[in-house]
Amino acid sequence: MLISASSPVFAQQTFAYANLYVAVVNRLFQHEVRHGAPETLLRYTFCGIGLPNTCRELQISVRDTNGGQLGVQMWYVPQSSPDIWDQLAALTTKTPDITAEKAASLINIQQETKTISKSARLWNLLQEAHLLSAPLTVDNSLTVDGSEYHFEVHSLSEELSITLQGPPPQKASEAKSPIVRWMAQVRNEVERNVMTQNPAKP
């Protein structure tokens, strides 16, 4: 199973560079899904626009391994660097016609791989994904200065894509949607207890 998630913010300042930003993030977070082993992939983007140093882009891949363990791979912006959005804004100020490929080559992304036991809290959180649900109704409202959460689920027999609006990542735990709240819990657990460079505890 593959689950990916992204969260673009609905604010006027996001529109100018949104397409370039997405292209750059896709290059920085390139990841080839290996068929056969169950895998969960979560991506958090547009996290801290307008709120410097509050949230950085992050991608998490979790794969079952032999021996009752999980392989966790993480891509994230180092604490010493601004988020990808701010770095890209600075690059486009200097070079307005910069390409996504060139911009991605100038942005530093940290990669880290850990192995954790299935008795860890992260494993229990991932199991909760099977119990998550979303209403099949259409909400015609727009969340101003909020976030958009996009999830894709891929398996051998099924594919699912869903887009939800909610509060920004900093307040995602307060969201009405159980899916958005779950995403916040997984991120917090990875940042606090899995990732070596811990942004949750400066």
Q: What is the mean pLDDT of residues 165-186?
A: 82
DSSP 150-184: EEEEE-SS-EEEEEEEES-GGGGGG-SSHHHHHHH
The predicted pLDDT at position 111 comes to 93
- The burial of 56, by beta-carbon neighbours within 10 Å (0-12 exposed, 13-18 middle, 19 or more buried), is given as buried
CA-CA distances (angstroms) from residue 192 to 32, 61, 199? 26, 16, 8
Q: Is residue 177 part of a domain?
A: yes
Q: Is residue 200 part of a domain?
A: no
If one counts the domains in the chain, the total is 1
Average pLDDT of the chain is 77
Q: Is residue 198 part of a domain?
A: no
Render pLDDT for 132-167 as a digit per residue (tens, 0 to 9): 776 666 565 555 556 767 776 666 666 677 777 777
More confident residue, 163 or 5: 163
Residue 13 pLDDT > 50, yes or no? no
The predicted pLDDT at position 112 comes to 93
Q: Is residue 51 part of a domain?
A: yes
The predicted pLDDT at position 201 comes to 44
Q: Which tokens hold the place of 191?
A: 């940042």
Domain hosting 29: range is 2-193
